[in-house]
Amino acid sequence: MLKNYFKSYLYLFSLLLILTIFISLLNYLFEKNFTIIKLIIPAISILVASIILGKKVKEKAYLEGLKFSLFFIIIAIIFNLIFIKSFNYKTIIMYFLLVITSLIGSMIGINLKKNNSWLFFFIRHDELW
């Protein structure tokens, strides 16, 4: 079970890193402020990672998604307090939305496992590992 969490967090952080670098390059080249995309990047990353985790669990995927997102949020809160040192209601709403996204993603993942269908081209990671 811990191996499944590790793979999902690996997908989460690598997707976060890739999308952040991509948005940084766009911001540098076009000199526009992509604030809404900064909010969407963690949601997409945690959704994909939760779908991958949900495909690996046998039952109660919503609990696995909740544990997955709460651990990620604890890490995010620690980094937020160390580097940004501000905590407001917008941050709390964002963390709450990430929890809901993770719950939905893990439920989608367990249903994809049951139906054996494709959602995204990169969700079928069974052949890669």
Q: How much is the pLDDT for 124? A: 53
| pLDDT band per the 50, 70, 90 thresholds, residue 22 | confident
| 59 φ, ψ (degrees, to nearest 5) | -155, 165
Q: Decide: 44 and 12 in contact? Cβ < 8 Å.
A: no
| Residue 128: predicted pLDDT | 47
pLDDT for the residue 129? 47
Structure tokens at 52: 């991958």
Backbone angle region of 60, left / alpha / beta, with phi > 0 → left and psi within -120 to 50 → alpha: left
Domain segments of the chain as ranges? 2-115
- The pLDDT of residue 25 is 85
Mean pLDDT (the chain, rounded): 79
Mean pLDDT of 67-96: 85
pLDDT of residue 118: 52
Rounded to two decimals, the pTM is: 0.77
Q: Residues 113, 114, 117, 119: is their CA dihedral positive or negative?
A: negative
